[in-house]
Amino acid sequence: MIRTFSELKRLKTFEERYVYLRLAGVVGKSTFGYDRYLNQALYTSKLWFNTRDYTIVRDNGCDLSVDGYEIHGRIIIHHMNPITIEDIELRRDIVFDPEFLICTSHNTHNAIHYGDESLLPQLPIERRLNDTCPWRL
């Protein structure tokens, strides 16, 4: 299954988007990240910086591109589909096309990869007048 931003945008809630993206990955499975030289070459390239900037602007700097989930720290650009060494070497669209990328916070990124929902951000509870005073309901 190839995940796309166009398909993700149809899902309205943060939780639905998380489930769509969740990989429940296997720790230690070989990906391009294990080849440090390639990792550094990719993430320091001008093409990557341009792609990254475009993706952040498109997503308004929000986690999983959901308004109200602004990221107030380091933004991770997550590849929605696992990429391989060959994908990078051949400069396939899956690496640089924003259609296959999404903004995430560090915790959300880890939750996507390892299935730990406790890492996901929680919106504050909406308070109402006297809601903490049981005799004034």
- In this structure, the strands spanning 76-79 and 101-104 are antiparallel
SS3 77: strand
Structural domain count of the chain:
1
pLDDT tier at 28, thresholds 50, 70, 90 = very low
Average pLDDT, the chain: 87
Among 20-29, 35-44, 81-90, the minimum mean pLDDT is found in 20-29
* Within-domain flag for 126: no
Q: Which domain holds residue 17?
A: 5-21+31-119
Residue 71 CA, chain-centre distance (Å), reads: 11
Q: Is residue 72 part of a domain?
A: yes
- The pLDDT assigned to 135 comes to 75
Q: How far apart are CA 20 and CA 116, in angstroms?
A: 14
Is residue 131 situated within a structural domain? no
Structure tokens at 72: 């107030």
CA-to-CA dists, residue 95 to 73, 124, 125, 131, angstroms: 23, 35, 38, 49
Interatomic CA distance for residues 133 and 83, integer angstroms: 53
Q: Is residue 71 domain-resident? A: yes
Tokens for 20?
A: 């769509």
What's 55's DSSP letter?
Answer: H
Give domain status of residue 137, yes or no: no
Is 102 within a domain?
Answer: yes
